[in-house]
Structure 1
Amino acid sequence: MSLAIGVDVGGTKIAAGVVDENGTVLAQIRRATPARDADRTADTIAEIASALAAEYGANSIGIGAAGLVDEDRCTVLFAPNLAWRNEPLGQRIGRATGLPTVVENDANAAGWGEARFGAARGASSAVILTVGTGIGGAIILNGELVRGTHGLAGEWGHMVVRPDGRRCGCGLRGCWERYASGSALVADARELATLDPARGAGLLESAGGRADQISGIHITAAARAGDPAALECLRNLGVWLGRGMAALAAAFDPDVFVLAGGVSEAGDLLRRPAQESFTSLLSARSFRSEPEVRLARQGNLAGLVGAADLSRAV
């Protein structure tokens, strides 16, 4: 059996695991990410990868990291949350472990995990949307991961969907993630509860009476309990997701869309309005099958599993 080690490097935690050819995680180790210390972070990755390799054996290592990765999948060019600039992470971990190592953008790794072993398994082409603080994701076309010239394919949160709309942190106005992300969901719910406390009473109650404390967890819980305002907020988010997805369908023509990330935990309360909005705007509907919108299945293992699988091609 061919085993690979997958590592998912986030701003607060590092998760590593031994993964078999079927995408099954056989063992895991988790560590806190050293706070903005590039060398200690790399040393921690090497330590846990070496420990797993020594105990279980492995043929390769794949690392998913938030940031810009070079075209050779070896160097992290820029990862602000991890304090990495031009970090030769692949070479560094490879030397420490004696195993061939590749580095992949974390959204690409997670998307590949869903495509190979999760909600998009069996689909020839898929778009995976990671809906969290912002919107990112991955593109799989004809079974291949699309990275783009600079490794930035899938950064569609900054597509402008509403010219002269809300100001985005990137400097533009009307970016998709200002209307269809977890941040947008929370901002809209807080605004609703502030401007109309009677209508937002359920949301306010869940947050201890303070609109500025309303979170995505509060919104989802209230919606599941049938709160009209919370349901409206999720429905509006789904509508905006669907609008952007229709544009992506015109560009990539996927078999399936997968909703991943923290916001997708709202389940069908988000998926259904997203599917309806997307379908209503889908071009050439009379001449094509309609891509299905599915919920991610891999959860927080997607990045680890995807990184491990991508390393097998080394």
Structure 2
Amino acid sequence: MTDLFAGIEAGGTKWVCMIAAHPEDIRASTRFPTTQPEETIGTAIDFIKRQIQPGELKGLGIGSFGPLDLDPESPTYGFLTTTPKPGWANSDLLSPFQRVLNLPTGFDTDVNAAALGEARWGAAQGLTDFVYMTIGTGIGGAGMVNGDLIHGLVHPEMGHVRIPHDKERDPFPGVCPYHGDCLEGLATGPAIESRWGKRGEKLPPEHPAWQLEAHYLALGVANLIFTLSPQRIILGGGVMEQEQLFPLIRKSVLDV
């Protein structure tokens, strides 16, 4: 009998839930907007309960937007902490699932969960040291060193690294509510839209936005190379769907 698992990507904009054995054997899936905690969590639990009979699932994995309390010894383990998402700060994500579903549950950041997926099934198969970075509404990063994810005191916030910002070339102040012109403030999807007045997918491949975007992302990638010496850096997220961007980043990294 095939082992089945439930998986949840708990995003700040939408949640994606599925029942699967592996990426090529997905039995059911759904996605819905992120509203308020009780409603959103309840929708996810109801989906899982409708799709599967008690005892059929081997476990549940949750990858969530953050920041998160990931310390199992903490009284607020499984909580969102100081997130700017309205209504979600100090929300308990984990225990409602444990209480209702009573399943072995893995809980981590959304980007750490994506990194585990890359290690098991994707571009990091066979590697022990790599970084996965997602560039979309925000910028998040996960690092694996000697086969283990980096957690540390809380979890890495690679999107908030400071990078050189030439304000004569780019006077844009950045969109990060905490730091202004950190990597996330300068290179996310919202930063592209705010700087150029159009969403990234509306800009043509030859637009100067992409040279600037590649420059900033290359600076962030170079910082990670110098710090962690990974075997590979994997880039994902909505912004990276622009196919012209990856070769521009690669060239810019080599020039740093």
TM-score normalized with structure 1 length: 0.70
User: SS of the residue aligned with 2:16?
Assistant: strand
Change (3 A) 1:86 1:24: farther
Counterpart contact for 1:126–1:257, Cα < 8 Å: yes
Structure 1 residue 96, shift from structure 2 partner = 0.8
Provide the C-alpha distance between the structure 1 equivalents of 2:34 and 2:193, rounded to a whole number of angstroms: 29
Counterpart contact for 1:13–1:30, Cα < 8 Å: no
Provide the C-alpha distance between the structure 1 equivalents of 2:151 and 2:189, rounded to a whole number of angstroms: 24
Paired residue total: 245
Deviations 1:190-241 (A, max 9, x none): 2xxxxxxxxxxxxxxxxxxxxx3x221111xx21xxxx4x1x3212211221
User: SS of the residue aligned with 1:16?
Assistant: strand
Query: Residue 259 of structure 1 aligns to which amino acid in structure 2?
Result: L
Structure 2 partner of 1:274: 249
Structure 2 partner of 1:29: 29
Structure 1 partner of 2:3: 2
Structure 1 residue 31, shift from structure 2 partner = 4.4
5+ unaligned residues in a row in structure 1: which ranges? 191-211, 282-314
Deviations 1:12-39 (A, max 9, x none): 432211232x443422332424622x22
Structure 1 residue 44, shift from structure 2 partner = 1.6
Higher RCO (CA-CA < 8 Å; seq separation 6+): 1
Provide the C-alpha distance between the structure 2 equivalents of 1:14 and 1:133, rounded to a whole number of angstroms: 14
Structure 1 residue 266, shift from structure 2 partner = 1.0
CA RMSD of aligned residues (A): 2.5
User: SS of the residue aligned with 1:170?
Assistant: coil
Provide the C-alpha distance between the structure 1 equivalents of 2:84 and 2:174, rounded to a whole number of angstroms: 22
User: SS of the residue aligned with 1:63?
Assistant: strand
Change (3 A) 1:66 1:171: closer
Provide the C-alpha distance between the structure 2 equivalents of 1:34 and 1:243, rounded to a whole number of angstroms: 32
Deviations 1:68-113 (A, max 9, x none): 2222465123244373344443222122112122322112212222
User: SS of the residue aligned with 1:149?
Assistant: coil
Provide the C-alpha distance between the structure 2 equivalents of 1:217 and 1:168, rounded to a whole number of angstroms: 19
Structure 1 partner of 2:170: none
Change (3 A) 1:145 1:118: same
Counterpart contact for 1:18–1:56, Cα < 8 Å: no
Counterpart contact for 2:138–2:184, Cα < 8 Å: yes
Counterpart contact for 1:76–1:103, Cα < 8 Å: no
User: SS of the residue aligned with 1:71?
Assistant: coil
Among residues 215, 220, 225, which one is paired with 2:199 in the alignment? 215
Is 1:253 aligned to 2:229, yes or no? yes
Query: Residue 112 of structure 1 aligns to which amino acid in structure 2?
Result: L
Counterpart contact for 1:115–1:140, Cα < 8 Å: no
Is 1:145 aligned to 2:149, yes or no? yes
Change (3 A) 1:149 1:175: same
Is 1:176 aligned to 2:183, yes or no? yes
Structure 1 residue 279, shift from structure 2 partner = 2.1
Counterpart contact for 2:124–2:232, Cα < 8 Å: yes
User: SS of the residue aligned with 2:57?
Assistant: coil
More helix by share: 1
Structure 1 residue 164, shift from structure 2 partner = 8.5
Runs of 4+ deviating beyond 6 Å: none
5+ unaligned residues in a row in structure 2: which ranges? 168-172
Change (3 A) 1:159 1:41: same
Structure 2 partner of 1:196: none
Overall identity of the aligned pairs, in %: 29
Is 1:97 aligned to 2:101, yes or no? yes
Structure 1 residue 163, shift from structure 2 partner = 6.2
Structure 1 partner of 2:78: 75
Query: Residue 229 of structure 2 aligns to which amino acid in structure 1?
Result: D
Structure 1 residue 135, shift from structure 2 partner = 1.5
Is 1:17 aligned to 2:1, yes or no? no
TM-score normalized with structure 2 length: 0.84
Is 1:160 aligned to 2:135, yes or no? no
Structure 2 partner of 1:109: 113
Is 1:125 aligned to 2:132, yes or no? no
Larger Rg: 1
Change (3 A) 1:87 1:116: same
